[in-house]
């Protein structure tokens, strides 16, 4: 899913179980949006946009299937060799469709019913991993009111703790992120800022000549976990499949609240700025 000005406000983010945020060419942010069960049949999801190298890595780790708008020649080759099914507008059998209220290329969408249809086509076997154990509270941590995730030099979303909503809202330079159908703000019980090596990928060049971006999401590193209005310093370790393991300094699992989890991938050494 895209995160350019023209793609906002996005649909379906509040219905997701997990979202990864990362930088693409030219500093623009992109989202990989995960549904472990299909959202409500008429819940729109989009705009759906093109795949990136990190998209392929994530779909492989999570044993998923991918719906996307298109890909470069190089990434198209990765998808053809990938161990998961993928569906673009041409192969999705009508389960990706254009809406009339947005201009191309920001008008490719799907919805809960069509996601369920794609899941039937994909016929994936059950995944062999478990998601995180959930805990609404934990000892320690530092109270936090707001923090900024340094996704790129130009993409620095602001997250604000809202005790009345029991989660963090998200604000871009275009304003508070809200669902276009309900006008309700996106509320995230847990946001994780995960530091990874971010490098240029010479195999990918966009139409403006920007080199592609790659993210090293395997291995381990530093993270900040934000939940319950508090910040927890943590480390992350990526198993062969499923989600990263986030661990506090004393060795206990980092608290992750029930509900949607948002992971912002940021470059090594880049900390979320808190107030």
Give per-residue pLDDT as tens, 50-61. 999 999 999 999
What the block records as the tokens of 260 is 């949607």
* pLDDT of amino acid 212: 78
* pLDDT of amino acid 99: 97
* pLDDT of amino acid 146: 98
Round to whole Å and give the CA distance between 120 and 114.
Answer: 10
Q: Which of 99-113, 114-128, 210-224 has the lowest mean pLDDT?
A: 210-224
Q: Going by DSSP bridges, is the β-strand pair 261-267/18-23 parallel, antiparallel, or unpaired?
A: parallel
Give per-residue pLDDT as tens, 111-157. 999 999 999 999 999 999 999 999 877 778 999 999 999 999 999 99
Strands (E), the chain: 18-23, 29-34, 44-45, 66-67, 86-87, 97-98, 108-111, 142-143, 146-148, 158-162, 167-172, 175-176, 190-205, 211-216, 219-227, 230-238, 245-248, 261-267, 273-274
* pLDDT of amino acid 140: 86
What the block records as the tokens of 117 is 């249809």
Q: Over range 245-260, report the average pLDDT.
A: 96
Q: Which candidate, 212, 27, 259, 9, places its Cα nearest to that of 109?
A: 9
* pLDDT of amino acid 72: 87
Q: Over range 244-254, report the average pLDDT.
A: 95
What is the sign, positive or negative, of the torsion defined by CA atoms of 83, 77, 28, 40? negative
Instruction: Kindly give, in sequence order, each residue whose CB lies less than 8 Å from that of residue 123, ignoring residues fewer than 6 positions away.
Output: none
Percentage helix, strand, coil for the chain under 3-state DSSP, each rounded to 5: 15, 35, 50
* pLDDT of amino acid 272: 97
Name the strand (E) or helix (H) holding 77: helix 73-81
What the block records as the tokens of 57 is 């890595």
pLDDT confidence band for 206 (50 / 70 / 90)? low
Round to whole Å and give the CA distance between 30 and 229.
Answer: 25
Round to whole Å and give the CA distance between 177 and 218.
Answer: 30
């Amino acid at each position: 899913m895209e995160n350019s000005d023209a793609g906002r406000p996005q649909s379906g983010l509040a219905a997701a179980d997990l979202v990864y945020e990362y930088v693409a060419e030219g500093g623009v942010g992109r989202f990989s949006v995960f549904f472990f069960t299909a959202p409500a049949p008429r819940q729109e999801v989009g705009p759906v946009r093109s795949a990136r190298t990190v998209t392929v890595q994530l779909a492989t780790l999570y044993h998923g299937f991918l719906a996307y708008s298109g890909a470069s020649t190089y990434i198209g080759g990765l998808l053809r060799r990938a161990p998961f099914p993928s569906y673009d507008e041409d192969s999705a059998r009508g389960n990706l469709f254009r809406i009339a209220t947005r201009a191309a290329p920001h008008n490719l969408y799907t919805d809960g019913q069509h996601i369920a249809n794609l899941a039937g086509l994909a016929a994936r076997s059950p995944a062999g991993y478990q998601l995180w154990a959930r805990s609404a509270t934990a000892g320690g941590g530092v109270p936090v009111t707001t923090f900024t995730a340094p996704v790129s030099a130009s993409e620095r979303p602001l997250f604000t703790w809202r005790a009345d909503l029991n989660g963090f809202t998200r604000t871009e330079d275009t304003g508070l992120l809200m669902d276009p159908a309900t006008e309700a703000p996106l509320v995230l019980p847990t946001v994780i800022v995960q530091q990874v090596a971010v490098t240029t990928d010479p195999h990918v060049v966009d139409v403006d000549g920007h080199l592609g971006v790659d993210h090293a999401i395997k291995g381990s590193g530093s993270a900040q976990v934000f939940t319950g209005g508090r910040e927890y310093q943590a480390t992350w370790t990526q198993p062969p499949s499923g989600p990263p393991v986030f661990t506090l300094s004393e060795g206990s699992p980092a608290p992750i609240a029930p509900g949607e989890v948002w992971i912002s991938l940021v470059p090594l050494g880049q900390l979320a700025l808190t107030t």
